[in-house]
Each structure stands twice: as structure tokens, then as C-alpha cells.
Amino acid sequence: MSQLFGTDGVRARINTGAMTAENIIRLALAAGKYFLGQRGDTSDGRPPLVVIGKDTRLSGYMVEAALQAGFASIGMDTRLIGPLPTPGVAYLTRTLRADFGVMISASHNPHYDNGIKLFGPDGYKLPDEVEAEIAGIMAGHIPLAEPERLGRARRMLDGVGRYVEYVKTVIPRSMRFDGLKVVIDCANGAGYRAAPDVLFELGAEVIPMAIAPDGFNINADCGAVHPEAMAAAVVEHGADIGISLDGDADRLIMADEGGNTIDGDQCLAVIADQMQGAGELAGQTVVGTLMTNHGLAGWLDGKGMTLERTRVGDRYILERMREAGFNLGGEPSGHILMTDHGTSGDGLMAALRMLAALKVSGNKASEALRRFTAFPQCIINISCEDHSIISAALDHKALTDAVSEAEASLGNDGRVVIRPSGTEPLIRVMVEARDQTAMDKTARSIAGVVEGLVSA
């Protein structure tokens, strides 16, 4: 895959690299040219259309304007949705019958980063080969539209309302959450309007947090990356459950009534149990990643279900799900994919399924929403801005020998995963082991080898 695209679209610090206005316009031209070429004779004369949504970063205005300029200049109409969760943009791309969709977001990253995610007309993220083709088009000549064929732009005012109604379809129409007190942390991000509205409309007593975006406070000490704020609020308010979304609301972390966090793996277990009980779990299989906790794998096996692992990134989970016909997958970070209901990870939709499980159980969240004992897991991040140094370190014999030695020592009671981050300039060292002392010692040892290689 081209260096332009990572595991979740294009992402960089704003006004650097791919996130300069010039390069954003160039990306819009290239993506527009690619999708115009896909139209063939099936457009029935309708103007080409692209849907653009965003989160709440200040830089979103600049990125949106640059994209709009690029699309207009190549002859594409745009529908500007404004702040809306990533799964909402995927949904509207399909329902508006657009040629493709764009989400402007750097997800869980700080405000000074931004990114661009592209969706095909079916609402799914683009495969690697299509992203590579678009990157190749950027490097060549891109003819612009004649003056009479320039694109038009219109703002869409009811995008949030459409998404709210769509999200509610994930639970039975008769299901309500009356009697549940719910803390909802919206990360000052794209879900700041939709998430509290959905919970309120379904009857919950809602305690909203981080719903005052100012362009700079997205993900700042709040949201799924910092769930401790939400967890503390659950205890403070005597709530039944807490929900944390990230900046673009496609991931979910929860907390029980005691303020103990419930990660994506526990969410997967609960939803898998629901789906298996209803006869809805395709292939009796859940798709996870290299980072999925071994405790979940064992629990699924005991219930007659199987865990399949992919590379880290929800796009790779989704590719495997589509390839094999599976309908449930996710990551510990809280991306939960339910392809019977949507084409993208949806933190709010997953939260509704979890609340439904809690309501039906009649028990406390600590009992109803925690299905397995997780293996202790340690993740150490080593920063390195140079991609070539990261690649060299990952292939270095000193590191491969250290990993082999660690895996031999841990045996069946642990795992080691070393990988580059797909969204940040980091090497991630993950060690999982039944024995926490062995885990900590192994993680520190391997991290020391990595630090030595990237600083040499």
C-alpha cells in the first residue's frame, strides 16, 4: 500500500505532509477521477456526488474547503454534512446513492492531527489496492472539468437526525432503557449531538460529558482514549453504566457501576453471546486481531465459537468478515463491527447492544457485561518519526531473536506481538501472559531492544 494511506486512510499533523491544503486538493482530484472512472454507463445522467462529513477539529473547516474545491473543479457535486460520526457518513453515502463518501477525522488523535477516510458507494472503506491506485493518480496529470461542468455544493441539515434513527434499528423496536442511569462521554467529538439524543429518546437518564467542542478539546482527557474521566463520573453519579466514544465515534469503551472499564474484547463477548443465542452469529465465528486477548479466545472456544485473528486495524477485520461471510468482529480498542447492521465500526450502535444486554439481564453491569477473565496485557509504545528506521528495526536480527526467546519462555501461557502503528509514528510492543511478573519482565526486555535499535 502506498505510504500516503495508513491502516485508516490518510492521517498527519495538519499543515504537514498529506494534510496541507495543496495535497488535500490533489487527493480530492485523484479520488474524484478514480470514482468518475467507475461510473461507466450506470449513472443515468445524474451528476456525480460525494458526501463529506467531519469531526469537530478546527482544521476540519480547512480540510472540508480544500476537498470541496478539488471535487468541484473535477466536476463532482458535494453534500456537506458537518460533524457526524464516521459510521453516519458511511450510512449516508449509501442512502444518498453517492459515488463515494469522505470522513474528515483523525479519530482518537489530538486536535492538531487530522485525516481523510474514503468510503465506496457501498459504504465500505476502500481496499488497499484502490487506495494505491488513487495515490498513483495523484502523481500524474489530472484533467479538470470545463467551466459549465463544475460541481456544486449543498449543506445537508438533517444528517444527525437520519443517523439517530438508523442507529436505533440495532435493537428491537420494543426495547427501551427506562430506569437506566447512563454516563455518556462524547470526547468533544463527532458524536456530541447524536449520542445523548439517542439515549434520551430511548428513555435513559442521561448524564452527558464532553459535549462542548471548541475545535481544540477533541479527545483531550476524555473519550475512549481516556475513559477514566467517564469511569469516575459513573461512580460520582451512582450511574448504572458508562459509555465513552472516541473523536469520530466509531469505537466504544465502557465502565460498570464500580467504575471498572469494559473494553472492546468484553463487548465482543457480550454481543457474540447475544447473537449466538438468537441464532444470528454467522459461522459461529468472531473476527479479532493480533491484539485480541487470549482470554476471549478461550471463552469463545468454551461456548462453541471460534476466534479468527487478522492484522491490527478494523479494515482488515472487515475484509476477513466480508470474505468469509462472518458478521461480528472487533478490536480491544473498541471498534465493533456488526455487518448485519452497518458497514463500519459504530461505537454508539455497539453501546446500544450492550445496554440491551444489561437491561435484559436485570443484573448489575459488573455481572452482566463481563464474560471472561482477561490475560494480563502490557503494551509499550516506542516513538520513531522515521518509517525506514521502524522497518529496519522490525526486521533486525536482535529483535527477532529477542522475540523468539521470549515466546519460547512463555510457551502456551503468553504471546508477543511487535508491530508498527498504522496511525502514529510508533512501534508497539505487546506482551500477554498468564503470569504478570513474567509479562512485565518480557515487555521491558523487548522494549529495551527496540529502543536501542531506533536510537542507534
**What is the predicted pLDDT for the residue at 309?**
95
Overall CATH class of domain 263-368: alpha beta
Q: What is the pTM of this model?
A: 0.88
Asked whether this chain's domains 178-260 and 263-368 adopt the same fold, the reply is yes
Instruction: Spot the catalytic one: 2, 43, 59, 107.
Output: 107
**What is the predicted pLDDT for the residue at 209?**
98
Q: Which residues make Cβ contacts (< 8 Å) with residue 63, sequence separation at least 6? A: 14, 19, 24, 54, 104, 114, 116
Instruction: Enumerate the domain spans of the chain.
Output: 10-158, 178-260, 263-368, 377-455
10-158: CATH number: 3.40.120.10
Diameter of the chain measured on Cα atoms: 69
Per cent of the chain over pLDDT 70 is: 97
**What is the predicted pLDDT for the residue at 2?**
44
Whether 2 is catalytic is no
Q: Which residues make Cβ contacts (< 8 Å) with residue 279, sequence separation at least 6? A: none
- What's the topology of domain 178-260? Alpha-D-Glucose-1,6-Bisphosphate; Chain A, domain 3 (3.40.120)
Q: Hey, which CATH number is domain 377-455, 3.30.310.50, 3.30.1600.10, 3.30.950.10, 3.30.70.1710? A: 3.30.310.50
**What is the predicted pLDDT for the residue at 44?**
65
**What is the predicted pLDDT for the residue at 40?**
65
**What is the predicted pLDDT for the residue at 170?**
96
Under-70 pLDDT residues of the chain:
1-3, 6-8, 40-45, 423
- Dump pLDDT digits (tens) for 428-449: 999 998 888 989 999 999 999 9
Identify the burial level of 363 via C-beta atoms within 10 angstroms of its C-beta, where 0-12 means exposed, 13-18 middle and 19 or more buried: exposed
Angle at the Cα of 381 from the Cα atoms of 128 and 398, rounded to 5 degrees: 90
